Chain A
């Protein structure tokens, strides 16, 4: 499967034989291209770059919708407060726990399913369609379905299963640890089919000859997996990890619907904390500083992942 993104950074194929007439047409081409690009770029600047600069400015302000008379320039006060804020550090840890656990689960389960189902001769289309269902749904709806029909004590199906298994009814979303596990499971449920689809497509694109050669070498199934399949799949796996990490760090809707960050702050990942600070507690200045912190964390993590990717590609 062609997993690489489109090569828009590459130069266009050189057209042979540039003459003077062509040079004029080249200039016209540039002007034409600029006219085509300008509207989209203006829209992007207005909806992404401008808000970013504004966000950074807000983060240096004291801005409280509940106490507007206190508003004013705060310099780095919000950031100083942030570094000393245990709730911030806790939310950062929760973000990392949430991200690492959901990404690892998605990759491991997705890969296992892809390896097993690859062997199937018929019915792959059915599985592709089943795998598409969770992926296209709104995380808000997924959260609502799980929260109500799966996890509600003495009503949801999971709770029914727990009672039937003799574990008794559980407070799936009311107990801090259980709530965290629940939101991790829900995210994993929704996005594992994505990892499955990408990895299945990559597996299907691997050349058969390599396996034939390995079979002649009498390599066992496990050996073949470790020494051949895994290294060949590595680019696809790394890509899935990068994509899913970025999404997990900014996961919002499902957690918001299921627990809203609670009970207390038990499922309050950094993203949720920034939201609650800004729109529940109405401290936009401090909320902005939290959002900037999230941006920095995202950039750091993606830098590490990209370095990993380059190293492995080399």
Chain B
């Protein structure tokens, strides 16, 4: 009985590893192959690794460096703007007496119900009219629609963990409200801010639908640019693999760093998910 059980566990473990690691590992392996090795049949697991594909996608004629730059500008811009707006709002919702607080909380939640495919149509018309298609400000402002509610919810949960005495002590000292918030409260939620930043960045980096509609030749994140390597006539397999790996790298690094908080980040405002997939 006992051996049967441990056998079942080992089997599950094995399936788990193969099923979930393999597609990622396989992309990584492919990115180090020559076009010849990658097309080999049966698939090659052992081969002489080369950086040729990376050299080509980074410094070749179709360099994706401008696209990586685009992705970073969009993600960092979204993160900064989101945090500037979300931190004060979350503090007010978590700690202050606000008229209509219940309604405000519900409103933030309800905004997440809107299907992105619905709101992209008006965005598209408005941005086209004001000439903001294919601009960073256009994409970044629109990303607020999903990053802001998420960040407010996550930050509220961190603000709620601070003891009230902190503010009271500061008030007794005669410190103004803004000073208290900046000097006393914000340092208390540094960890929470870091986690929120990671998730907002991640969601902005991964967003696709808005980017597909709004991007052009100037603003073109990696997730869109990878299509350059796939065409009906010919797919540059090794280069495609290299681009995929480059696009995966930042989010995997952030995900692993934030792994302790990932469940919280994914389930915050549990009534509706944070991520926009």
Contacts and interface: CB of A to CB of B under 8 A. Distances in A.
A287 interface: yes
Interface residues of B, number: 106
A134 interface: yes
Interface residues of A, number: 106
A136 B91 CA distance: 27
A119 B10 CA distance: 11
B96 A32 contact: yes
B93 A140 contact: no
Contacts of B12: 112-113, 116-117
A57 to B, nearest CB: 9
B118 to A, nearest CB: 3
B23 A146 contact: yes
Contacts of A138: 205-208, 223, 247-248, 251
A39 interface: yes
A287 B252 contact: no
B209 A133 contact: no
Interface string A253-284: 11010000000000000010011001100001
B125 A48 contact: no
Given A137-B252, A144-B240, A302 B113 contact: yes
B157 A253 contact: no
A148 B255 contact: no
B190 interface: no
B43 A157 contact: yes
B88 interface: yes
A232 interface: no
B55 interface: no
A51 interface: yes
A239 B89 contact: no
Interface in A199-241: 201, 239
B153 A6 contact: yes
Contacts of B177: 28-29, 32
B119 A243 contact: no
A198 B263 contact: yes
Given A8-B93, A130-B16, A148-B237, A197 B117 contact: no
B117 A40 contact: no
Interface of B: 5, 8-9, 12-13, 16-17, 19-24, 26-27, 30, 39, 41-43, 85-86, 88-89, 91-99, 101-102, 104-108, 111, 113-126, 141-142, 144-145, 148-149, 152-153, 156-157, 160, 164, 177, 202, 205-209, 212-213, 223, 226, 230, 235, 237, 240-241, 244, 247-248, 251-252, 254-256, 259, 262-264, 266-273, 275-277
Q: 4 shortest A-B CB distances, which residue pairs?
A: A291-B118, A136-B255, A40-B89, A253-B208
Given A55-B122, A138-B248, A294-B117, 12 more contacts: A12-B95, A37-B92, A41-B107, A44-B145, A48-B111, A51-B123, A113-B12, A130-B17, A134-B20, A136-B262, A141-B248, A191-B277
